[in-house]
Amino acid sequence: MRRSVVAVIVVLFFISSCIDDKAPAVSQADPNSNFPPDVSVIINNKCAVQGCHTVNAKAASGGVAMETWDELFNGGNGGAVVIPYRPDQSWVVYYTNTDTSKGVVLTPTMPYLQEPLSSTEWQTLYNWISNGAPDINGNIAFSGIPARKKFYVSNEGCDLVSVFDADTKLCMRYIDVGQDPGSINVPHQIKVSPDQNYWYAVFVNGTVIQKFSATDDSYLGSINIGAGNWNTMAISGDGTKAFAVDWSDAGKIAYIDLANMQFIRYYEGLAYPHGSWINKAGTTLYVTSQSGNYIYKLDVSDPNFPSIEQVVLKPGQSPNNIAGTLDPHEVMLSADESKYFVTCQASNEVRVFDAATDTLMKIIPVGQYPLEMGISVKNNLLFVTCEYTPCDEPKCEGSVDIIDLSTLQVVKELQDGLYEPHGIGVMDDEGYVVIASRNLDINGPAPHHVSNCGGRNGFVKIIDMSTLDFIPDYRTEVSVDPYSVAVRQP
């Protein structure tokens, strides 16, 4: 397993150990750096100096080269070091800060073994990043490509969504979500619309669904759906309607008209409804009863007058919510909609049903506490996150089980470096799978730093589908409790 003690993680993520080179610097801008002049004066004379964050020395400096604006936005060993518009999430700001009243302070202070930046210099960097960290011509990194492929990670402990560029796999934006700045609204799930033009967030501690543009991630509006423990949502294939699920003892489903941004009505009287999926035609909605032995199947051909039936997970049983149930977490249709899969978190299995008859086809044993699923159509594989599978290595818990959809058997189980994996997103066109590890337990890998909103940061790992193994040395830390993953593949 590839891992390091905390000190080594600090070294590798950003600073490593720049060679102690005290060659005098000149206080002038580098016209070839592509930085704005005031920023170049700081970076090119105090950061990208001989023996430190230059192209030749970046291997000893956390993989970070800063000689030019373009090199800076290649990131380093631990991912992005500057997030446009977000100095509060940028490692460059943390490492050059010496005043805890201004935010996170990481040591050793940069410039390494030199005098810290003056307050004026630090504020110049802060303001530059607040304005998008533009180059000398005003260009903003990761902008201007409306059809950019991305993946999103909801950080439910800080009301943030991390936005990653699919090509570089770098975090390129942090988006604030939630309706109440005075409390944590807990963005539980992110869903990208079928046309790939929008993404939506639902909240455990909120009363709205929020809508964002998937082209530039700007906020577009919200729909008030009332109080509820809103956990998941399903969107019809034409993108005109959605169904949000309130995970409560006396739970409910909110039917929403997305075309007109309006809440229409509730379907009430459901017991702990949780996971949700709808067929492409928008006529059949599946919802799990997470503390039971069944799922709900709703005919929503006319969403104003749905019919609801219960499909038991063990043939011959009656639907119930008593001790010893399978506790289905999530449900997902196959790509051809001929079958559906249900993760059973209490029995550590995936159950496969024929969609036409609702009969059980297969019981697939998997790791401990299976939760989320993702399908690779190109590779005919089902990926399942299992949050608590025991691991032989320290600082490791959970697994990703990979199921061959031709045989309905587990072909591989991955654990290397995971801790409480939950969210999953399949980037089929790019050939990889995104896994979000919550890392809430204090026994997990120590986060690089304390988040500016409190709590333990989690991290993202990526499975290469050509090898069915994790991409070596890729583990990007993100904000607190990365729970849900959504992908955009226009």
Can you give the residue ranges of every domain in the chain? 6-130, 150-488
Q: How confident is the model at residue 20 (pLDDT cuts 50, 70, 90)?
A: very low
User: Which amino acid type is present at position 391?
Assistant: C
pLDDT beyond 50 at 198? yes
What is the b/e burial string over 185-213, where b = at least 16 CB atoms within 10 angstroms of the residue's CB? bbbbbbbbbeebebbbbbbbbbbbbbbbe
Rg, the chain, Cα only: 24
How many CA atoms within 13 Å lie on the side-chain side of 336?
7
Q: What does the pLDDT average to over 365-380?
A: 98
Question: Backbone dihedral region of 232: left (phi > 0), alpha (psi from -120 to 50 degrees) or beta?
Answer: beta
Q: How far is CA 98 from CA 48, 94, 101, 108, in A?
A: 20, 8, 9, 10
Residue 406, burial from CB neighbour count under 10 angstroms (0-12, 13-18, 19+): exposed
**What pLDDT does residue 61 have?**
75
Helix then strand then coil, in percent of the chain rounded to 5, is 10, 35, 50
Least confidently predicted of 52-61, 79-88, 118-127: 52-61
Q: How confident is the model at residue 232 (pLDDT cuts 50, 70, 90)?
A: very high
Task: Please indicate whether residue 453 or residue 125 has the higher confidence score (pLDDT).
Answer: 125
**What pLDDT does residue 294 have?**
98
- Main-chain dihedrals φ then ψ at residue 97, nearest 5 degrees: -85, 140
pLDDT above 70 covers what percent of the chain?
94
Q: What does the pLDDT average to over 291-319?
A: 97
**What pLDDT does residue 60 have?**
67
Least confidently predicted of 88-97, 274-283, 288-297, 446-455: 446-455
For domain 150-488, give the CATH superfamily.
Answer: YVTN repeat-like/Quinoprotein amine dehydrogenase (2.130.10.10)
User: Which amino acid type is present at position 27?
Assistant: S
**What pLDDT does residue 18 have?**
54
pLDDT beyond 70 at 7? no
Task: Please indicate whether residue 421 or residue 47 has the higher confidence score (pLDDT).
Answer: 421
**What pLDDT does residue 11 have?**
39
pLDDT beyond 80 at 429? yes
Q: Is this model's pTM higher than 0.75 or not?
A: yes
Q: Contact, 126 vs 89, CB < 8 A?
A: no
Q: What does the pLDDT average to over 336-344?
A: 98
Least confidently predicted of 24-38, 266-280, 399-413, 469-483: 24-38
Mean pLDDT of the chain: 92
Q: Contact, 176 vs 163, CB < 8 A?
A: no
pLDDT beyond 80 at 433? yes
Least confidently predicted of 124-128, 178-182, 217-221, 250-254: 178-182
Least confidently predicted of 112-116, 162-166, 305-309: 112-116
Least confidently predicted of 27-31, 121-125, 154-158: 27-31
Q: Contact, 317 vs 326, CB < 8 A?
A: no
